[in-house]
Structure 1
Amino acid sequence: GGCGHSPANYPFFKSSKQNGAAVLRPDLCPLGKYGYDARCRGWYHNGKEVSEAEEAPLYITPPYTFGGSDLVAQSATLPLVDPRNGEHVGMALLDFLSSAVVSSMKSTQLIDGGFPILITSRSDILKHDTVIGPNIALGEDAARLEEVVVPRDWSCVFDSDNCSSGTAFDSIAKHMREGGRGNSSFVRTGENGNGEEMYISYAPVTVTSYRPLNHSDFSRGTGNVSSLVYSLAFVQPKEALIRPFADYFEIERMVRISIGVLFAVIVLASALLIYISARVTTSITVPVLHLLKMIRSINR
């Protein structure tokens, strides 16, 4: 990173396999050479490649740990260009902490079995890009997005370029890395070995950077370019997600049954009332008619 090495320690910096300086620039920083050279650092080397190859000049590194501390941060770079000839002369660097984003994501309340996901726009050399996810401790663990979300389905045949989970999440992960947004579902293998349907909602986090339209004449203005910084997502199991609705539908079903039973009771009660009324009416009417008949016979 940028602030991981202070100027006082520059002479003691040694190119090694661990810091990757010799891999990036073996001509400038051969293995074992002392002396800090920014051109041999990932933020400089990758930032330069991005600025020269892509329309968006902004480059943001994956999270890393500052040297000699427990702070986890990222670095943002923009190219410095000679206005006379348009040649690249250096990189502007800004280090920033990811703690605010991380704490905000982790404090989001989800249903049982749900979890947040946060990936960077750029992966490291091992294709690790996950910042937040299940069993991921920022600054300590590193993993690829698919390894975190579909761990029991993910497999690599020969190397990291030939990997697949065989699930619909492969295409979702690709869309997330491209800066897409959407809602989807996929089935993964659960802890018990059975299929577990999951719902996912994801969206990109972008920042606007500016590039001069003409490096030799700043009066020409600048063009703005949107750069992907993160892709965030919330993943939740279908079973837990629809459980409240299942309870609602169960209550609705019981209410419908109760209404049906009540209607049947009302119908039966009405029929019984009609029957009783008919019996009472008959028991009164028949004697009256009989008495009337006797009175008529006496009058004759």
Structure 2
Amino acid sequence: MAPISLQSTYKLVSGYEIPVVGFGVYQTPSDVTEKVTRKAIELGYRHVDSAKVYGNEKESAAAIRGSGLDRSKIFYTSKVPSKCMGYEKAKKAIEESIAAANLGYIDLMLIHAPYGGKEDRLGTWRALVEAQKAGHVRSLGVSNFAIQHLEELEEYIKSGAGGQITVGQYEIHPWCPREDIAEWLQKRNIVVEAYSPLVQATRMKEPVLQNLAKKHGKTEAQVLVRWSLQKGYVPLPKSVTESRILENSQVFDFALSDEDMASLKLNTYEPVCWDPVRDCKI
């Protein structure tokens, strides 16, 4: 793996660049979001992952505007919520997210989950493509789509619907690896983003993780972020604690060996969040 840093990027199939680590604000209270996001930017993060349903788009974007950096230097993501699936509802939600951010454009807009059925999924995509063509959104993607939903969307795009799937965002970590979905995406040069890469701190006492942390003189969280990076994913660690925000970014001065990576191949499927990938049957 070539040397990378917090400011390193991957090229999306849309032609834009996405930083290799994002700062997640899921469940971050709106009254602290601006402060912690600005701190993350000060510490070197250049990628902020928000969503309409998080209730903190406005605060996340305010941190970006107040950072003193040129808008083009920070990558901002939001998402169309499950309750806004379908062309008309999605169009309204996208407009609201654009207005809340007030950044000129949104770098990446995702469909948050595949709920609602085929007609609503494809209608939501149509609304995203329109926003992209209007210059309000630069890149499009999905979150929590099972392979059948990905293939359905791929077929729709090939039929002339427009747009490209540039990113697939999922809960991914050694206890929920989703290797089949990651393989499907990576074969198409679609960037894989990993949310809850720290397993919401529920696995920090696992012997395999503690052994690797001790071996490398790193924390368990840093080992998990590094695992994501070495899989070629874009991890989205979150914290409201300054020391941990910094810690989660200090993952570029060590590498996990092939043996280390193999020890984290656990053959288990134990997500800690919601799981639309399994739950959405239509």
- Highest RCO, 1 vs 2 (Cα 8 Å, sep ≥ 6): 2
The two structures have a TM-score, normalised by structure 2, of: 0.23
The two structures have a TM-score, normalised by structure 1, of: 0.22
Is the helix fraction higher in 1 or 2?
2
Decide which structure has the larger Cα Rg and report it. Answer: 1
Is the strand fraction higher in 1 or 2?
1
